[in-house]
């Protein structure tokens, strides 16, 4: 029976609330599509949040539930859409996302090395880059390891060259061999931290290692296939760009054209991050948009000057098709990583929208791009690239839709519209991406807005058009003109970066947030951008809750590395480390997650304790650490010294009744965190937070 407005006023309060909620949900009926990737992403997120992998029966039940939910939606859609219909629609999309992530995880399944290996390593070079310590790294496929059967040999592995090596040019496709050390990918450096095993699982990298011996080329490249051929062309183009430009601007230009960052100076990257300009290095929506925008504008202006063409054909559509072709070429030249794929799909959707005479910039276009990316690579959801890119794009499209619909810029003088648009877009993108950048990279650039206002226009008017001009003139041997224009623009950007990074207080360190913070901020932001009606203001509530959780996030009182040999103890709000070197990556990440800008050597000077022996207490629970050789340890005496003992060099279980960790325990359970609580201590290890998943169960065979 229909409820009249007058009847609602006479009903109880709870009925009024439910009636208002139902009315608000009904308002979303014509704006549902932008929510599709949100619900799909919820399913993907649930899959990665689980502590176990589903078996066949569970997967079949999920697929059946998807079908039943879809059928129920179709049945209910015959009536006026109600909240039940929307709930079923959301459930079906979430289940579809769950299935997509599960299928993807099994599709990329490949062997993972389950032990430490030393011996001959042979394979084909498929990627060349540098490590954080500026050592050359080679990624190999077609791997052969002595005495390891093909069924257990990793599909790909990565080797860092640490020692003297033969001075030969390494080329993609070369068959090479060396003797070196390999091991399985390490787990998180602290419980709940970034999961390297999961990250490398989706790259099919089953072993990591290094060699101090020469790398010998057994055979030159042959029969590379189109993927490796394209990568080889990228490397050649990168070398050509760097050889024609100064040593500072050349690697920067190569990074934004080909995606090759191998020769970037680490100090330069640090400066760009401190000024919030590091996003210019990643080939993403900004670069793809600037390139296709330049091609679109040039084509449209050129065709408009030809009356015979402009009077018979839609030059706007022709320009869009040519721009799409340029975007496809840029996708191939730049390496087609996940960020570039995301940018290409978003630009492609917008250009195709122009061809079919639909709004090119809309939340629907953003939603299509997000759905395609999540369907192809669901694992991208949990990476900073996906989160920051779509946060910025969604916020910008939603904001400028309001500006357009309400004509907010119509009263401005024409000469002011450009600067105001740049200022607003930089501010909105900065606000939208700030929490994700702070959570993933543990710092905020205080003057990032200033740096972007001074740099992004130069990127759009000089750098990218210069690259386009160089490509157009290359067949005539005149590419130097375009490269010179790029060089001037990049020199300006680097000057801005150095100036902004040098300002006092240019960066502020941020502690890692609670795991619920980013999901709550995402929910709140989506409510503000996508919800129709006055209810969108409620999106502020989860954002405020998230910020409150972040400010009260508790860092572990004690951290132990996966090797068990590095210990970090909070002393007030600063962490002291037990040694100035060794386990350096773990030390750096711990300090960054604490929001502490100190390095390992400085943090080790805080504690004043020995690297080999250490005693400490947390809430009257005592711990004793001893890194001496097992033959020099009296186990019965050591176990009586404290409530828990830490013996990382002991490759055997601790005696019965002795609580703590041996080297065997660290290998099986990973890094350890100890939290201080009112009634004692809470102890977690990496495996308890990861669960038992495909990527960390090395001995398990994929279920499919």
User: pLDDT tens digit string along 388-441?
Assistant: 889 988 998 899 888 877 777 777 777 777 788 888 888 898 899 999 999 999
Q: Name residue 443's beta-bridge partners.
A: 509
**Cβ distance 104 to 382 under 8 Å?**
no
- Cβ contacts of residue 99 below 8 Å, gap of 6+? 43, 59, 62, 63, 66
In a domain, 18, yes or no: no
Question: In this structure, are 540 and 565 located in the same domain?
Answer: no
What is the per-residue pLDDT for 699?
Answer: 45
Query: Over the stretch 91-107, which tens digit does the pLDDT of each residue have?
Result: 889 988 998 999 999 99
Question: In this structure, are 459 and 501 located in the same domain?
Answer: yes
CA–CA separation, 70 and 99 (whole Å): 14
Question: In this structure, are 132 and 276 located in the same domain?
Answer: no
CA–CA separation, 14 and 17 (whole Å): 5
Q: Name residue 300's beta-bridge partners.
A: none
Better-predicted residue by pLDDT, 253 or 629: 253
- pTM reported for the whole predicted model: 0.87
Evaluate the CA torsion angle 127, 128, 132, 136 in order and state its sign. Answer: positive
| Domain boundary, last residue among 107, 133, 154 | 107
**Cβ distance 598 to 574 under 8 Å?**
yes
CA–CA separation, 81 and 73 (whole Å): 9
Query: Over the stretch 648-666, which tens digit does the pLDDT of each residue have?
Result: 998 888 888 899 999 999 9
Question: In this structure, are 481 and 362 located in the same domain?
Answer: yes
**Cβ distance 348 to 382 under 8 Å?**
no
CA–CA separation, 411 and 495 (whole Å): 36
Question: In this structure, are 380 and 273 located in the same domain?
Answer: yes
In a domain, 102, yes or no: yes
- Cβ contacts of residue 511 below 8 Å, gap of 6+? 442, 553, 555, 593, 594, 595
Number of domains in the chain: 5
CA–CA separation, 519 and 528 (whole Å): 14
In a domain, 246, yes or no: no
Query: Over the stretch 188-244, which tens digit does the pLDDT of each residue have?
Result: 999 999 999 999 999 999 999 999 998 888 888 777 788 888 888 888 899 999 999
For all residues of the chain together, what is the average pLDDT? 86
In a domain, 23, yes or no: no
pLDDT band of 630, cuts 50, 70, 90: confident
| Domain boundary, last residue among 40, 75, 107 | 107
Question: In this structure, are 145 and 58 located in the same domain?
Answer: no
Q: What is the dihedral of CA 401, 405, 407, 408, to 10 degrees?
A: -50
Q: How many angstroms separate the Cα of 336 from the Cα of each of 256, 666, 671?
A: 12, 38, 34
Residue 453 backbone phi and psi in degrees, to 5:
-65, -35
What is the per-residue pLDDT for 306?
Answer: 84
Domain that includes residue 661, residue range? 558-690
What is the per-residue pLDDT for 203?
Answer: 93
CB atoms under 10 Å from CB of 414, counted, come to: 7
pLDDT band of 1, cuts 50, 70, 90: very low
State mean pLDDT over 602-622. Answer: 82
In eight-state DSSP terms, residue 692 is B
Question: In this structure, are 213 and 193 located in the same domain?
Answer: yes
Question: In this structure, are 125 and 46 located in the same domain?
Answer: no
Question: In this structure, are 575 and 614 located in the same domain?
Answer: yes
Question: In this structure, are 199 and 340 located in the same domain?
Answer: no
Query: Over the stretch 122-177, which tens digit does the pLDDT of each residue have?
Result: 999 998 888 877 788 999 999 999 989 999 999 999 999 987 665 567 888 999 99
In a domain, 594, yes or no: yes
In a domain, 1, yes or no: no
What SS3 string covers 376-393?
Answer: HCHHHHHCHHHHHHHHHH
| Domain boundary, last residue among 107, 136, 152 | 107
pLDDT at 77 over 70: no
pLDDT band of 700, cuts 50, 70, 90: very low
Q: Among 428, 631, 593, 617, which Cα is nearest to 509's? A: 593
In a domain, 476, yes or no: yes
pLDDT band of 481, cuts 50, 70, 90: very high
Query: Over the stretch 557-603, which tens digit does the pLDDT of each residue have?
Result: 999 999 999 999 998 889 999 999 889 999 999 999 999 989 999 99
In eight-state DSSP terms, residue 664 is H
pLDDT band of 86, cuts 50, 70, 90: confident
pLDDT band of 611, cuts 50, 70, 90: low
Question: In this structure, are 135 and 201 located in the same domain?
Answer: yes
Query: Over the stretch 21-73, which tens digit does the pLDDT of each residue have?
Result: 666 666 666 678 899 999 999 999 999 999 988 876 667 776 776 666 666 65
In a domain, 670, yes or no: yes
Q: Among 552, 595, 551, which Cα is nearest to 575's? A: 595
In eight-state DSSP terms, residue 576 is E
Top mean pLDDT of 1-15, 156-170, 543-557 is at 543-557
pLDDT band of 259, cuts 50, 70, 90: confident
- Cβ contacts of residue 266 below 8 Å, gap of 6+? 132, 134
CATH of the domain at 127: 2.40.50
Residue 211 backbone phi and psi in degrees, to 5:
-140, 145
Question: In this structure, are 268 and 397 located in the same domain?
Answer: yes
């Amino acid at each position: 029976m229909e409820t009249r407005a007058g009847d609602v006023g006479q009903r109880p309060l709870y009925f009024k609330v439910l009636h208002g909620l139902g009315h608000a949900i009904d308002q979303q009926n014509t704006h549902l599509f932008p929510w599709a990737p949100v619900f799909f992403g919820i399913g993907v997120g649930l899959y990665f949040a689980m502590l176990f992998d589903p078996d066949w029966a569970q997967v079949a039940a999920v697929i059946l539930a998807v079908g039943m939910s879809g059928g129920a939606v179709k049945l209910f859609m015959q009536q006026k859409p109600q909240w039940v219909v929307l709930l079923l629609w959301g459930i079906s999309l979430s289940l579809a996302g769950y299935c997509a992530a599960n299928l993807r995880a099994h599709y990329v399944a490949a062997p993972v090395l389950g032990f430490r290996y030393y011996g001959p390593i042979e394979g084909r070079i498929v990627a060349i880059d540098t490590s954080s310590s500026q050592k050359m790294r080679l990624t190999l496929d077609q791997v052969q390891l002595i005495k390891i059967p093909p069924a257990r040999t990793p599909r790909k592995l990565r080797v860092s060259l640490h020692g003297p090596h033969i001075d030969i040019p390494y080329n993609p496709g070369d068959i090479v061999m060396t003797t070196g050390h390999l091991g399985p990918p390490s787990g998180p450096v602290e419980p709940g931290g970034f999961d390297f095993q999961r990250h490398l699982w989706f790259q099919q990298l089953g072993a990591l290692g290094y060699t101090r011996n020469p790398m010998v080329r057994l055979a030159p490249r042959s029969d590379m296939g189109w993927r490796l051929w394209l990568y080889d062309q990228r490397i050649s183009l990168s070398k050509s760009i760097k050889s024609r430009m100064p040593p500072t601007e050349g690697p920067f230009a190569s990074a934004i054209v080909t995606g090759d960052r191998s020769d970037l100076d680490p100090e330069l990257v640090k400066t760009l991050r401190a000024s919030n300009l590091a996003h210019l290095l990643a080939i993403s929506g900004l670069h793809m948009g600037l390139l296709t925008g330049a091609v679109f504008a040039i084509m449209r202006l050129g065709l408009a000057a030809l009356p015979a063409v402009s009077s018979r054909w839609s030059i706007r559509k022709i320009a869009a098709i040519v721009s799409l072709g340029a975007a496809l070429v840029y996708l191939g030249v730049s390496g087609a990583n996940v960020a570039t794929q995301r940018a290409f799909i978003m630009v492609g959707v917008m250009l195709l929208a122009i061809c079919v005479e639909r709004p090119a910039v809309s939340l629907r276009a953003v939603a299509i791009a997000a759905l395609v990316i999540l369907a192809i690579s669901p694992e991208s959801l949990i990476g900073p690239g996906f989160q920051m890119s779509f946060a910025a794009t969604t916020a910008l499209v939603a904001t400028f839709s309001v500006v357009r619909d309400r004509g907010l810029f119509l009263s401005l003088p024409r000469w002011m519209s450009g600067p105001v648009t740049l200022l607003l877009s930089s501010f909105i993108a900065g606000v939208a991406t700030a929490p994700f950048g702070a959570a993933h990279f543990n710092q905020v650039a205080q003057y990032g807005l200033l740096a972007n206002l001074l740099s992004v226009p130069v990127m759009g008017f000089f750098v990218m058009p210069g690259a386009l001009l160089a490509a157009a003139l290359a067949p005539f041997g005149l590419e130097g003109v375009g490269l010179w224009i790029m060089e001037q623009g990049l020199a300006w950007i680097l000057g801005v970066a150095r100036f902004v990074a040098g300002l006092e207080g240019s960066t502020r360190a941020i502690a890692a947030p609670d795991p619920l913070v980013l999901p709550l901020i995402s929910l709140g932001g989506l409510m503000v951008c996508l919800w129709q009606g006055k209810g969108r203001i409620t999106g502020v509530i989860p954002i405020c809750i998230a910020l409150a959780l972040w400010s009260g996030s508790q860092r572990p009182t004690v951290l132990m590395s996966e090797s068990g040999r590095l210990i970090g103890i909070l002393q007030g709000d600063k962490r002291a480390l037990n040694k100035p070197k060794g386990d350096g990556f773990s030390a750096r990440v711990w300090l960054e997650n604490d929001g502490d800008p100190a390095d390992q050597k400085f943090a080790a000077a805080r504690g004043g304790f020995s690297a080999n022996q250490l005693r400490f207490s947390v809430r009257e629970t005592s711990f004793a650490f001893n890194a001496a050789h097992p033959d020099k340890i009296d186990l019965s005496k050591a176990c009586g010294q404290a409530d828990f003992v830490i013996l990382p060099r002991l490759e055997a279980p601790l005696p019965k009744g002795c609580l703590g960790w041996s080297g065997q325990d660290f290998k099986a359970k990973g890094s350890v965190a100890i939290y201080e609580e009112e009634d004692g201590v809470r102890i977690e290890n990496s495996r308890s937070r990861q669960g038992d998943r495909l990527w960390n169960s090395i001995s398990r065979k994929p279920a499919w």
